[in-house]
């Protein structure tokens, strides 16, 4: 930085980054996802994964779940900036480690291999609610639901059983117990 000719201040002290899951309830209207995502990219926030779908057809509400990393200050800014958007109704923020919140991602695995390997592949998935969605003599499509890092690990470990293709969703979240986030 010593010889930098850039026009602005040098960055201050760096704080520790945490992973947060931000849930946003928005009006399901044209461009709303672009507003939310644009806010992240425009202000330099991270998006690790994203899941969005309409959850209330009558009220026309969509629920966006974003996994992001940032310092506590940045995460606060994300929430406050999101709340300023006109189509945003409410914003929830959960820490990845939060025991009271369930996080799940879904993945589809396609295996192409001999029957012996295909059986092993299914067995390897057994802890993650595996469902066989499609089956031929030399291939299988298996659906699992799990945490992000579990799916990461699985994708690596399953290559030996003929894993050829992975498709996965972003994380979705819900609180445990009878409480509803207001």
Partner 1 sequence: MPKLYSGAEIVFKCLEDQNVSHIFGYPGGAVLPIYDELKNFNSIKHILVRHEQGAGHAAEGYARSSGKPGVLLVTSGPGATNAVTALTDAYMDSVPLVCITGQVPTHLIGTDAFQECDTTGITRPCTKHNWLVKDINDLPEIMHKAFEVATTGRPGPVLVDIPKDIQFQKTKYKNYQKVKKLNGKSHDNFSQKNIDDLIGLISKAKKPIFYTGGGVVNSGPKASELLRELVYATGFPITSTLQGLGCFPADDNQFLGMLGMHGTYEANNAMYSCDLMINIGARFDDRITGKIDEFSPKSKKVHIDIDPSSINKNVKVDLPIVGDIKSVLTSTLKTLKKSKKNFSKSNKHQISNWWEKIQKWRSKRSLDYIGSDETIKPQYAIERLYELTKDRDAYITTEVGQHQMWAAQHYKFNKPNRWMTSGGLGTMGYGLPAAVGVQIAHPKKLVVDIAGEASVLMTMQEMSTAVQYNLPIKIFILNNEYMGMVRQWQELLHDKNYSESYTAALPDFVKMAEAYGCVGIRAKTPEELDDKIIEMLNTDRPVIFDCLVDKQENCFPMIPSGKPHNQMLLGPKDQKEKKITGKGRTLV
Residues that bind partner 1 (CB under 8 A): 1-10, 12-13, 30-31, 34-35, 38, 42, 73, 76-77, 80-81, 83-86
Contacts of 119 (CB under 8 A, 6+ apart): none
CB 148 within 8 A of CB 67: yes
Nearer to partner 1, 1 or 180 (CB): 1
Tokens of 87: 């189509």
**Residue nearer to partner 1 on the CB measure, 32 or 113:** 32
Integer Cα distance of 154 and 50 in angstroms: 20
What is the per-residue burial (b if ≥16 Cβ within 10 Å, else e) of 132-151? eeeeeeeebbbbbbbebeeb
- Shortest distance (Å) from residue 49 CB to partner 1: 22
Distances from the Cα of 82 to the Cαs of 7, 50, 51, 89, in angstroms? 29, 15, 16, 9
Measured from the CB atom, the residue of 11 and 180 that comes closer to partner 1 is 11
Q: How far is the CB of 84 from partner 1 (least distance, A)?
A: 6
Please identify, using beta-carbon distances, which residue of 9 and 100 lies nearer to partner 1: 9
| Closer to partner 1 by Cβ: residue 77 or 155 | 77
How far apart are CB 1 and partner 1 at their closest, in Å?
Answer: 6
Least distance in Å: CB of 60 to partner 1?
A: 14
Task: Give the C-alpha separation, 121 to 138, whole Å.
Answer: 12
Minimum distance, C-beta of residue 52 to partner 1, in the bound complex (Å): 17
């Amino acid at each position: 930085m010593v010889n930098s000719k850039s026009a602005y201040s040098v960055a201050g002290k760096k704080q520790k980054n945490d992973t947060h899951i931000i849930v946003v309830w928005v009006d399901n209207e044209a461009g709303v996802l672009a507003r939310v995502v644009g806010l992240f990219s425009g202000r330099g926030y991270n998006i690790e994964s994203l899941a969005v779908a309409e959850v209330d057809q009558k009220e026309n509400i969509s629920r966006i779940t974003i996994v992001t990393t940032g310092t506590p200050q940045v995460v606060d800014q994300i929430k406050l900036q999101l709340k300023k958007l006109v189509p945003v109704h409410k914003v929830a923020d959960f820490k990845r480690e939060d025991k009271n919140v369930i996080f799940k991602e879904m993945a589809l695995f396609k295996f192409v291999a001999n029957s012996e390997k295909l059986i092993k592949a299914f067995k390897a998935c057994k802890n993650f609610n595996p469902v066989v969605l499609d089956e031929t003599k030399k291939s299988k499509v298996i659906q699992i639901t799990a945490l992000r890092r579990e799916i990461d690990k699985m994708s690596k470990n399953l290559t030996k059983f003929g894993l050829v293709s992975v498709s996965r969703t972003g994380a979705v979240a819900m609180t445990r117990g009878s409480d509803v986030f207001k």
